[in-house]
């Protein structure tokens, strides 16, 4: 993992996002890695998801050392966990033993992956369905402290503004400079999620309090009466954020896992066993 991070500082964010997008569709079962006619990657909401090759390389090494023991689903979860720790975040213990699914579904990805315009009610519904409480739901969103967003996901917010969206005016101008057109696919720029995009810290919460959150949900959780106090607490106390994120991460990475004969340990992560 260290060698992967050394060659690409954006790897931790990519692995963390890969875990969420896998677990949100069918559960944490590595279905997102399957290369088939019904691939989840055909869903537009998976735009920018990557590091499939890195997961494949890790699988190759593990198969050579311990054949048919470590699933691709476990590798995704472990890669995301290590991404947090190696970026300065908490060290998290997670259970292992996930099995890989034999199916994937573009339709299920379309239905279950949230849009970038998600509101607080929808956010809480998603994370509470995985057993998270209110504090953990706000904490897991703090994963946005790593990485960057893409113009395609924020142009509507920039050019079709909601009057209730309290974005810092100077921050909005800076975003428009990076995303200068209303046509999403002509904007290829990646915009950092916060001012320390390679460090796992509580800067995300400090930024959104100042109206400098990249996505609309960043603005709304910093003002919603249910979440504003938690956001302020995490902004003031990084250790408090780390504790809540750790428990939330365990619940996220354990969501609807397959065990026993419900799944398999794939030999190659991009295809089911024959």
Structure confidence at residue 31 (pLDDT): 98
Domain covering 120-250 in this structure, CATH number: 1.10.420.10
Residues in CB range of 58: below 8 A, 6 or more apart? 1, 75, 79
Residues in binding site for Ca(2+): 22, 25, 27, 29, 31, 40, 145, 194, 196, 201
User: For residues 157 and 160, what is the distance between their CA atoms, to the nearest angstrom?
Assistant: 6
- The structural architecture, per CATH, of the domain 2-114+253-262 is Orthogonal Bundle (1.10)
Structure confidence at residue 187 (pLDDT): 53
CATH topology match: 2-114+253-262 vs 120-250: no
Which tokens belong to 44?
């537009």
Residues in binding site: 22, 25, 27, 29, 31, 40, 114, 144-145, 194, 196, 201
Q: Out of 17, 21, 135, 157, which one is annotated catalytic?
A: 21
Dihedral sign of CA atoms 126, 132, 134, 137 in order = negative
* Widest distance between CA atoms in the chain: 57
Instruction: Judge whether 21 counts as a catalytic residue.
Output: yes
3-state SS, one letter per residue, for 127-178: HHCCCCCHHHHHHHHHHHHCCEEEHHHCHHHHHCCCCCCCCCHHHHHHHHHH
Kindly list the distances between the CA atom of residue 203 and the CA atoms of 102, 117, 193, 219, 249, in Å, as whole numbers in the listed order: 39, 22, 10, 14, 18
Dihedral sign of CA atoms 111, 116, 117, 122 in order = positive
Give the pTM: 0.94
Structure confidence at residue 87 (pLDDT): 97
Structure confidence at residue 152 (pLDDT): 84
Structure confidence at residue 240 (pLDDT): 99
Structure confidence at residue 184 (pLDDT): 59
Every domain of the chain and the residues it spans: 2-114+253-262, 120-250
User: For residues 238 and 95, what is the distance between their CA atoms, to the nearest angstrom?
Assistant: 25
- Spell out the per-residue pLDDT of the chain, length 274, in tens: 878 888 889 999 999 999 999 999 999 999 999 999 999 999 989 988 999 999 999 999 999 999 999 999 999 999 999 999 999 999 999 999 999 999 999 999 999 999 888 999 999 999 999 999 999 999 999 999 999 888 888 888 888 877 777 899 999 999 988 888 777 555 556 788 888 999 999 999 999 999 999 999 998 999 999 999 999 999 999 999 999 999 999 999 999 999 999 999 999 999 999 9
Structure confidence at residue 116 (pLDDT): 81
Buried b vs exposed e over 171-202: b needs ≥16 C-beta within 10 Å? ebeebeeebeeeebeebeeebbbbebbbebbb
Q: Residue 192: phi, psi to the nearest 5?
A: -55, 140
């Amino acid at each position: 993992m260290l060698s992967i991070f050394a060659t690409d500082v954006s790897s931790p964010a990519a692995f963390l996002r890969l875990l969420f997008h896998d677990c949100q569709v069918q559960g944490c079962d590595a279905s997102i890695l399957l290369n088939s006619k019904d691939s989840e990657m055909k869903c537009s909401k998976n735009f920018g998801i990557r590091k499939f090759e890195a997961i494949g390389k890790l699988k190759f090494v593990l198969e050579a050392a311990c054949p048919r023991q470590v699933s691709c689903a476990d590798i995704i979860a472990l890669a995301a966990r290590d991404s947090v720790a190696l970026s300065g975040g908490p060290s998290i213990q997670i259970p292992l033993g996930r099995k890989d699914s034999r199916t994937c579904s573009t339709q299920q990805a379309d239905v279950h992956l949230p849009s970038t315009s998600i509101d607080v009610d929808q956010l809480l519904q998603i994370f509470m369905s995985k057993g998270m409480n209110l504090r953990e739901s706000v904490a897991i969103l703090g994963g946005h402290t790593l990485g960057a967003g893409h113009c395609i996901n924020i142009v509507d917010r920039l050019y079709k503004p909601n009057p209730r969206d309290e974005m810092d005016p100077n921050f909005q101008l800076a975003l428009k400079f990076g995303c200068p057109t209303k046509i999403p696919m002509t904007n290829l720029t990646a915009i950092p999620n916060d001012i320390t995009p390679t460090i796992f810290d509580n800067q995300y919460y400090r930024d959104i309090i100042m109206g400098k959150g990249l996505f609309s949900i960043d603005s709304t959780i910093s003002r919603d009466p249910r979440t504003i106090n938690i956001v302020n607490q995490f902004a003031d106390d990084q250790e408090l954020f780390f504790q809540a994120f750790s428990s939330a991460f365990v619940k996220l990475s354990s969501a609807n896992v397959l065990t026993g004969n419900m799944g398999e340990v794939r030999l190659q992560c991009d295809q089911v066993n024959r």
